[in-house]
Amino acid sequence: MKRQNVMYFTEKEKEFVSLLINIGTRKNVAQVLVFLANISEATSRDIERGTDLRQPEVSLAMHYLIGQDWIKSKENKAEGKGRPVKIYSLSKPIDKIMNSIEKEKKEQAKQQLARVQKLREYIK
């Protein structure tokens, strides 16, 4: 049997995840993003273990993160027979990803304020 180290979140990383969730990021996406921000690369299985998410939750998060161009994947040939294993890593530094999130949230806030302003026009 193989021995393997499992990475777990520190209190600071848990707070990072919590803050991302509080600004509207889906829980699974926030957990995977923070996990990958603190490790150079990981397999889906590593991410499942480290985030305590199930495979479908990790898969959904990966789909979203790849769509945002925030992570990249490469295939590593499996030992023996079987499918190649995908290895994931951030495609951009976490501060660049946070800049993207900030830009998106500012745009959402701007749209909300425009809607409030339009509502005000109805009561004049």
In a domain, 4, yes or no: no
- Distance (Å, whole) CA 17 – CA 28: 9
In a domain, 38, yes or no: yes
Instruction: Look up the CATH number of the domain holding residue 49.
Output: 1.10.10.10
Question: Is residue 66 over pLDDT 90?
Answer: yes
Query: For the segment 70-87, what is each residue's pLDDT rounded down to a tens digit?
Result: 999 998 876 777 788 889
φ, ψ for residue 69, nearest 5 deg: 65, 35
Query: For the segment 5-54, what is each residue's pLDDT rounded down to a tens digit?
Result: 666 788 999 999 999 999 999 999 999 999 999 999 999 999 999 999 99
In a domain, 122, yes or no: no
In a domain, 112, yes or no: no
Asked if 36 contacts 89 with a C-beta cutoff of 8 angstroms, the reply is yes
Asked if 50 contacts 94 with a C-beta cutoff of 8 angstroms, the reply is no
In a domain, 64, yes or no: yes
| Dihedral angle of Cα 74, 89, 24, 19, to the nearest 10 degrees | 160
Tally of domains within the chain? 1
- Distance (Å, whole) CA 16 – CA 37: 11
Which residue range(s) make up the domain with 48? 11-92
In a domain, 45, yes or no: yes
